[in-house]
Amino acid sequence: MSPTRRTPAASRVVMTEIVLPADTNNYGTIFGGRLLALADKCAAVAAIRHCRQPVVTASFDRVDFLRPVKSRYFVILTGEVTATFRTSMEIQVTVEAEHPERGERETTCLARITMVAIDEHGRPVTVPPLECDTEDERRRAERAAERRRQRLERRDLEAF
Ligand SMILES: CC(C)(COP(=O)(O)OP(=O)(O)OC[C@H]1O[C@@H](n2cnc3c(N)ncnc32)[C@H](O)[C@@H]1OP(=O)(O)O)[C@@H](O)C(=O)NCCC(=O)NCCS
């Protein structure tokens, strides 16, 4: 694959962390906030890989924590740009927990994050369009466009 092609796969980021006691709550499972911080970081790297510009987080969609993740487990975050618009990008981050000895994995969380590319003054700048190779990727990008419409509608309704 040519390095200049801006496909979802070209933006893909895989981050692996081990859950340490300092990451956990009183029940020995990872803090939700810690997972969100990792998801934010994973999404930022995927977005920067796509546009090769600095980015800021504009929005996090609703995030559901499906299962607790215990201390000593590995968390594997996989991030990928799912759609691009004018200056913003939607990134999907999937979080899996891996048992350290048995190697079994299960999905614990899915987050959709909007990142905006900015210039040196913090002003939004245009990003290169995403090149979808498969029908699945194209459908995913179409669904992302509908989510973007809803996000902006919510933002305008809830403006304070
Ligand atoms: C995100 C930010 C750059 C947007 O700037 P802005 O002046 O509102 O600019 P615009 O209205 O032109 O929006 C720029 C893009 O952001 C998108 N955007 C803005 N708010 C959004 C939201 N709540 N949800 C999703 N997308 C949003 C717009 O749709 C637009 O995308 P598009 O060009 O692809 O259509 C600005 O609000 C900001 O700097 N926010 C703080 C970011 C931050 O500190 N993040 C945490 C640390 S990284």
pLDDT at residue 129 above 70? yes
Residues 25-71: tens digit of each pLDDT:
999 999 999 999 999 999 999 999 999 999 999 999 989 899 999 99
> Hey, which residues does 98 pair with through a beta bridge?
74, 105
pLDDT at residue 119 above 60? yes
Q: What is the pLDDT of residue 160?
A: 63
Buried b (16+ CB within 10 A) or exposed e, 125-156: bebeebebeeeebeebbeebeeebeebeeeee
- Expressed in angstroms and rounded, the spacing between residue 103 Cα and the centre of ligand 1 is 39
CA distance to 45, 64, 160, per residue, from 146 (Å) = 24, 20, 24
Provide residues with CB under 6 Å of ligand 1: 56-59, 85-88, 114, 116, 118, 122, 124, 151-152, 155
Residue 3 lies in a domain: no
- Expressed in angstroms and rounded, the spacing between residue 116 Cα and the centre of ligand 1 is 6
| CB contact at 8 A, 64 and 39 | no
Q: Structural domain of residue 89, as residue ranges?
A: 8-157
Q: What is the pLDDT of residue 156?
A: 83
d(CA 131, CA 153): 26
What is the model's pTM? Answer: 0.95
Residue 122 lies in a domain: yes
- Ligand 1: atom nearest CA of 155 is 23
Q: What is the pLDDT of residue 158?
A: 73
Total domains present in the chain = 1
- Ligand 1: atom nearest CA of 86 is 34
CATH number at residue 54: 3.10.129.10
- Ligand 1: atom nearest CA of 56 is 48
Ligand 1: which of 88, 130, 149, 151 to mutate, judged by most atoms within 8 Å of the beta carbon? 88
Query: Which of 49-53, 98-102, 153-157 shows the lowest mean pLDDT across its residues?
Result: 153-157
